[in-house]
Amino acid sequence: MKTVYDFTVTDRKGNEVSLADYKGKVLLIVNTATGCGFTPHYEPLEEMYKELKDKGFEILDFPCNQFANQAPGSDDEIHEFCTMKFGTDFPQFKKIDVNGETADPLFVYLATEKPFEGFGKGLKNGMLNTFTAANNKKFGDKAYIKWNFTKFLVDREGNVVARFEPTEDMKKVKECVIKAVEQ
């Protein structure tokens, strides 16, 4: 059976990294952007990382510019922004595509394991549905990720156990992460 450990990704410096290097850790894999309304998610993500990294937790950050061009910078510019503005210390990888023919295989796998189930209710969620519908038309059945800051929780065995859309309350995300770390 396939797990995230079967994938290799590229770090922001261009080096290949096997996700098998993270065996035994709980992972939160996130597609991010520096110019998005959800960019402030970096703050609770970093707080969670600081609190839980010594307990076997990692956040893997994959910038993506496929949603309204909200991550236009180079890998170094994105990294500098994140470290200067939010003090991020978790691993950040090379900017990737998460949708379409050029989608990174890791994100195709993650989204296939935990497909999109909606943004929930409320005005903000309804507006996001409108934006994503327009943005994702060009990707058709390869619109795996609907917006920036989609998060996938992976257990210590490399299995995808949860998907959190950017509209999910970060307190709920943290509760689920803590539960996975304590198992």
Active-site residue (options: 36, 64, 82, 176): 36
Residues 6+ apart with CB under 8 A from 6: 19, 20, 158
Active site residue 36: yes
Identify the H or E element spanning 81: helix 75-86
What is the rounded distance in angstroms from the CA atom of residue 130 to the CA atom of residue 165?
A: 15
Eight-state DSSP code of residue 71:
-
Q: How many CB atoms lie within 10 A of CB 18?
A: 12
Task: List phi, psi (to 5°) of 171.
Answer: -65, -40
Distances (CA, A) of 132 to 19, 30, 137: 29, 17, 8
What is the rounded distance in angstroms from the CA atom of residue 86 to the CA atom of residue 173?
A: 19
- Annotated catalytic sites, by residue? 36
